[in-house]
Amino acid sequence: MKKLKEKKKLSEVIANYQDGDSFLKTPIKTILGKGYKEKMIIDEPCSFEKLDAIIQKALNKYHENGEKNPLVIGAIPFDTTKRPVLIVPQETLVLERENISEDLLDLPYILDVKKIKQLPSAKTYEEMVQQSIHRIRETKLEKVVLARTLQISTSDRVDLPPLIESLAKTNTSGYTFAINTGEKEINTLVGASPELLIRKKGNTIIANPLAGSRKRTHDKDEDARLAASLLNSEKDLHEHKVVVDMVCRELNPFFKTIQAPDQPSILYTDSMIHLSTTISGELKDPQTTSLTIASALHPTPAVCGEPREEAFQLIHEIEPFDRKFFAGIVGYMEANGDGEWIVTIRCAQVKENQITIYAGAGIVESSVPQEERAETGAKFQTMLHAIGITGENN
């Protein structure tokens, strides 16, 4: 694994990306994985404990063969009974934040779109929301996250480097990623998530759950008004608290100490305004891996619901598509267990000239179907803007 001391342009790193490579950009480092020494696609149901052991075995093997600090880049589906993808790159470039210059070109990436299909339709999605509200009222279910997709056909094959650059340019504080999840063909999971599931460095852990959203307007006064409305919304504060409480509860057994503010703050992305809480703590056992900690949280109420099992069951009952890697986790882990795992939202699967974009909204008893549908439409905008599609797709 190469670590460079001199500054390198992010645009040059992305330009070196080829189909099948792996790319991750986080606030602390940028990783480009060229090809792979080993690609592990596990078809049988695999617990996180077993997955962690598989990763540790692979990393130990390459470490013993002389690599100073090998890493695995991975994508794990929403449904953990489905196959994860783990990659040990053939060659890995790692750039720490201070060694990269983010001077990206401000050029639009425009695709010639032939067709856009909603699945489910906006009307059906609103009916799904209403069905969920009824279930919440009648059972112990407190929150469920419902998703929908845009399936886009383009005239030409999607060129990934300019798409990655477009995402990185407009989502500078988030987590940009591109990972080939296909087995025998290129099928790239690409996106720019704002949500960190877990970061481990030594014995320090940080999590940053998001829940409660408004569509960003980029009008300073209006965005300030929307942020204030979020901070005073009983519905959104409740939705956010459900997530934060679960994260603190699940992390507590791992921690000597844990810190979480009493009230959320505001996080702005290119297309959304979110309620955000940064949770930090010190591990009891520094040998605990980042994936072990991520496994305790996935899937969080921010992408599934609460209680988890009831929400997961309802999602499988009424969503008319397989989420695959949407609402899963994507990230990397080093040989010492350090790493970052990101919630796979604001993303798409790209295969030749087909793009499937995903977005979800958290449903609680006080939800309004039309507003939740509009929220998913707003969340589509991160990917739509990146491929040059403007206007509403609600």
Question: Phi and psi at residue 252, in whole multiples of 5°?
Answer: -55, -40
Residue 86 near residue 43 (C-beta atoms within 8 A): no
Residue 360 near residue 376 (C-beta atoms within 8 A): yes
Q: Which helix (H) or strand (E) holds 40?
A: strand 38-41
CA distance 330 to 189: 9
As a residue count, the chain comes to 394
DSSP label at residue 83: P
CA distance 358 to 110: 19
- What secondary structure does DSSP assign to 247-287, as a single string? HHHHHGGGEEEEE--SS-EEEE-SSEEEEE--EEEEES-TT
CA distance 132 to 208: 26
Q: Which of 195, 306, 310, 372 is catalytic?
A: 195
Q: Which helix (H) or strand (E) holds 382?
A: helix 369-386
Q: Which of 25, 126, 143, 375 is catalytic?
A: 143
Please name which of 92, 86, 91, 90 lies closest in space to residue 39, comparing C-alpha atoms: 86
Q: Which helix (H) or strand (E) holds 240?
A: helix 234-251
Q: Burial of 124 by CB count in 10 Å (0-12 exposed, 13-18 middle, 19+ buried)?
A: middle
**Torsion of the alpha carbons at 48, 50, 51 and 56, rounded to the nearest 10:** 120
Active site residue 165: no
CA distance 160 to 322: 23
What proportions of the chain, in percent to the nearest 5, are helix, strand and coil? Answer: 30, 35, 35
Active site residue 201: no
Report helix, strand or coil for 21.
coil
**Residues tagged active-site:** 143, 195
